[in-house]
Amino acid sequence: MQTVLSTCEVKENTRFKLWCEVISDRMGPIELSQTCDRPFEGLIQAADVGSLRITRIRESNVRSEITPQTLRRRERTGAVFALIQLEGRSINIQDGREAIQGPGEIVLLADRPNVHISGPSDQSLVLEIPVAPLTHMLGPTQHLTALTFGGDDGTGVLVKAFFTDLVRVYADLDAVTAERMAGVGIDLIVASLAERLAREVPRPLHGSVVVQRAKAHVEANLGDTTLDPPRLAAAVGVSLRRLQELFHERGQHISDWIWQRRLDSAAERLADPGCAHIAIGNLAYGSGFTNQAHFARRFKARYGLSPSAYRAVSAKPPPGR
């Protein structure tokens, strides 16, 4: 990662002022204050992997607050910050919840008023990710913020290991691969958070969480040709009838959702220059289709073009270039 600021190279009496300026430049306007009188020390490192902004922050005893006033001064909006605790402990407050975060744990903070308080010797990775993938799979961010997840569970270990490795090797990736790896990382966060939501949720939210878990399972298993409504219901631990009811309440059908996501996945890969070498038949099988003719019919019905024509159109540069 690129070192943006190391306070060991700055005079002690100007360190924190410079720290506030650099953090606000990187993360957006934030109100920062020290929670103790000790000399401040900190390190900021940055990596932009595709469209994913990653910042490693090492600091001690700092209160960071997003207020209505700082929000009005922000140029970038509509993001969610995923904080992966690497060392130390911190406190996060948003939407009426308070989360104490330990090593390996992950917390989401949305682009709304919130507070983050770092303890002594705190180090974390901060991921600035688009809100759309999260809300598409897991629902409104009001239900997702200031909840600790990850930690020692399987998906949490994967998330931490993935991003720790990604910031080590990202400079060696080409643009297409970097964007793809950013998407993989976001999918891992979604899967880990879906697992956390499944544990204990208020009863009125249970149906939404079941649907969100089902959609996350579909997303993670699009290439499984055996995935169908009965298997999906079994995977999320409810009866097929109950899962059908929950989807119907939201104006959706399980099988339609599965096929829609398979087609959308195939379309994304057809438009991806990094997948140009993959035969359309293999791409169809990788998206969960067992028959290329069936894939071609469904694809044209949804997109108005055959898969080969869609790929050709996507490969053309925009007019005037």
Question: Which residues in 54-65 are b (16+ Cβ under 10 Å) and which e?
Answer: bbbbbbbbbebe
CA-nearest of 77, 175, 185, 174 to 133 is 185
Look at 156 and 178; give whichever has higher pLDDT. 178
- Reading the block at residue 132, the tokens are 């759309």
Q: Could you count the other beta carbons within 10 Å of the beta carbon of residue 126?
A: 20
Q: Are 97 and 55 in contact (CB under 8 A)?
A: no
For the ranges 34-48, 184-198, 258-272, 297-311, the lowest mean pLDDT is seen at 184-198
Report the percent of the chain where pLDDT is more than 90: 49
Q: Which two tokens stand for residue 251?
A: 């104006």
Q: What is the CATH number of the domain that holds 269?
A: 1.10.10.60
pLDDT, one tens digit per residue, over 183-241 is 889 888 888 887 777 665 555 556 777 887 888 888 888 888 899 999 998 888 788 99
Confidence of residue 23 (pLDDT cuts 50, 70, 90): very high
Report in angstroms the alpha-carbon separations of 58 from 35, 51, 126, 150: 15, 23, 11, 20
Neighbours of 111 (CB within 10 A): 18
- The Cα-based distances of 151 to 84, 104, 263 in angstroms read 9, 5, 34
Q: How distant, in Å, are the alpha carbons of 50, 51, 53, 157, 286 from that of 179?
A: 4, 7, 11, 22, 19
Give the distance, in angstroms, between the CA of residue 100 and the centroid of all CA atoms in the same chain.
Answer: 20
Answer whether residue 234 is part of any domain.
yes
Q: Using 50, 70 and 90 to split pLDDT, how confident is the model at 31?
A: very high
Whether residue 172 is found in the same domain as residue 110? yes
Q: How far apart are CA 308 and CA 85, in angstroms?
A: 45
**pLDDT tens by residue, 70-92:** 988 887 777 899 999 999 999 99
Q: What is the DSSP letter of 317?
A: P
Instruction: Count other Cβ atoms within 10 Å, centred on residue 81.
Output: 22
Mean pLDDT calculated for residue range 10-14: 90
- Give me the pLDDT at residue 239, please: 86
Q: Which residue has the higher pLDDT, 158 or 17?
A: 17
Partners of residue 93 on adjacent β-strands: 98, 115
Q: Could you tell me if 15 and 72 lie in one domain?
A: yes
Tally of structural domains, the chain: 2
pLDDT of 199: 65
- Whole-model pTM: value is 0.66
| Full residue range of the structural domain in which residue 287 is found | 222-315
Q: Mean per-residue pLDDT for 22-33?
A: 93
Report if residue 41 sits inside a domain.
yes
The packing angle between helices 240-249 and 254-271, to 10°, is 70
Per-residue confidence band for 250, with pLDDT thresholds at 50, 70 and 90: confident
Confidence of residue 295 (pLDDT cuts 50, 70, 90): very high
Residues 108 and 247 in one domain: no
User: Does the structure show a pLDDT above 70 at 150?
Assistant: yes
Question: Is there a single domain that holds both residue 30 and residue 179?
Answer: yes
Q: Are residues 166 and 241 part of one domain?
A: no
My answer on whether 21 and 86 are in the same domain is: yes
> Tokens 């407050």 identify what position?
93
Residues 35 and 168 in one domain: yes
Same domain, 185 and 246: no
At 76 the pLDDT is 73
Do the domain assignments include residue 146? yes
Examine the domain organization and report whether 17 and 128 are in the same domain: yes
C-alpha distances in Å from residue 53, one per residue of 49, 50, 79: 6, 8, 11
**pLDDT of 117:** 95
Number of H helices, E strands in the chain: 12, 12
What is the residue-averaged pLDDT of the chain? 87
**pLDDT at residue 107 greater than cutoff 90:** yes
| pLDDT higher than threshold 60 for residue 319 | no
Q: According to the model, what pLDDT value does residue 200 have?
A: 54
108 with 141: CB under 8 angstroms? yes
Residue (of 136, 57, 85, 75) closest to 111 by Cα position:
75
